[in-house]
Structure 1
Amino acid sequence: MPSVSIFLISHVRELALGAKRLLQQGNDQVTIIATGGLEDGEIGTSVDQMQRALDELPQEDEVLIFYDIGSAKMNAEMLIEMNPDRTIAITDAPLIEGGYVAVMMAGFGDDLDTVRQKAESSYHKSR
């Protein structure tokens, strides 16, 4: 059974790496990758950087993407189109709260759809 990896995308590199550090506390056995900012250190997102991060994961891993704001989602959608042979989903769950639940569920061995649904439903219940 494939593992679910968590992919964090932010417009700021430090935010992506800080979120990864925080979420990794939930389960250090779950793979979390993070990317943020542009190559020159400015604020933004880069599909090229996202692709390089994705390429670090085993091909068979399922990937759940969390993002900070809208244009990161647009780039994540482009990344999915560029990788039709991968199983990748995007969630609208919050980067931290949803990400933490996703890490816990992935650690229990849940599949991608279940991890995504749990992350999204935990957010809606807390509102």
Structure 2
Amino acid sequence: MVGIVIVSHSNLVAKGVKELALQMSPEVNIAEAGGTFDGRIGTDISKITDAIETVYSDSGVLILFDLGSAFMNTEMAIEFLDDAMKDNIEIVDAPLVEGAITAAVEASMNKSLLDIKEVLKPMALNKMP
């Protein structure tokens, strides 16, 4: 089953989005990487890498993020992973809450990583600038 990672500048936001998504699909592996290791607002490459490794499976990992710098740090985090894992990870620019819930529901139906990404694509087009 595809794993999901929620990347947010706020630990509370990341935990809350994870909690909502798990309400819809409790069997899905979801990890959050919110805030910095010392509790500040921001993102942390090590936290993102750890979250990816926590939910990783051969089915892949889908990552959702809140702001542009979270995207950049997620890209850097992926660079630290084993080469075999890198091709099995997708970052998706979709609304964080709605995207996470939709991704979790799709993952719970054993949809592939690429199928889930396709379902989220129209949401990305509607994301506020």
Q: What TM-score, normalized by structure 2, do the two folds share?
A: 0.88
Whichever residue aligns with residue 68 of structure 1, its letter is D
Deviation, structure 1 residue 49: 1.1
Deviation, structure 1 residue 47: 0.4
Partner of 2:14: 16
Structure 1 segment 45-124 matched on structure 2, within 5 A: 45-83=43-81, 84-86=83-85, 87-122=88-123, 124=125
Question: Any idea what SS the aligned residue of 1:60 has?
Answer: coil
Whichever residue aligns with residue 36 of structure 1, its letter is G
- Tell me, in whole angstroms, the C-alpha distance in 2 between the residues paired with 1:24 and 1:51: 21
- Tell me, in whole angstroms, the C-alpha distance in 2 between the residues paired with 1:119 and 1:109: 15
| 1:20-44 superposed Cα distances (whole Å, 9 cap, x missing partner) | 0011111101111101111111110
Q: How many pairs are equivalent?
A: 125
The structure-2 alpha-carbon separation of the partners of 1:100 and 1:59, relative to structure 1 and needing over 3 Å to count, comes to closer
Q: Which protein is richer in helix relative to its size?
A: 2
Q: Which moved more, 1:116-125 or 1:104-113?
A: 116-125
Q: What TM-score, normalized by structure 1, do the two folds share?
A: 0.89
Structure 1 segment 28-43 matched on structure 2, within 5 A: 28-43=26-41
Percent of aligned positions with the same letter in both sequences? 34
Deviation, structure 1 residue 57: 2.8
Question: Any idea what SS the aligned residue of 1:29 has?
Answer: coil
The structure-2 alpha-carbon separation of the partners of 1:126 and 1:95, relative to structure 1 and needing over 3 Å to count, comes to closer
Q: Structure 1 unaligned runs (5+)? A: none
Question: Any idea what SS the aligned residue of 1:85 has?
Answer: helix
- Tell me, in whole angstroms, the C-alpha distance in 1 between the residues paired with 2:107 and 2:74: 20
Q: Structure 2 unaligned runs (5+)? A: none
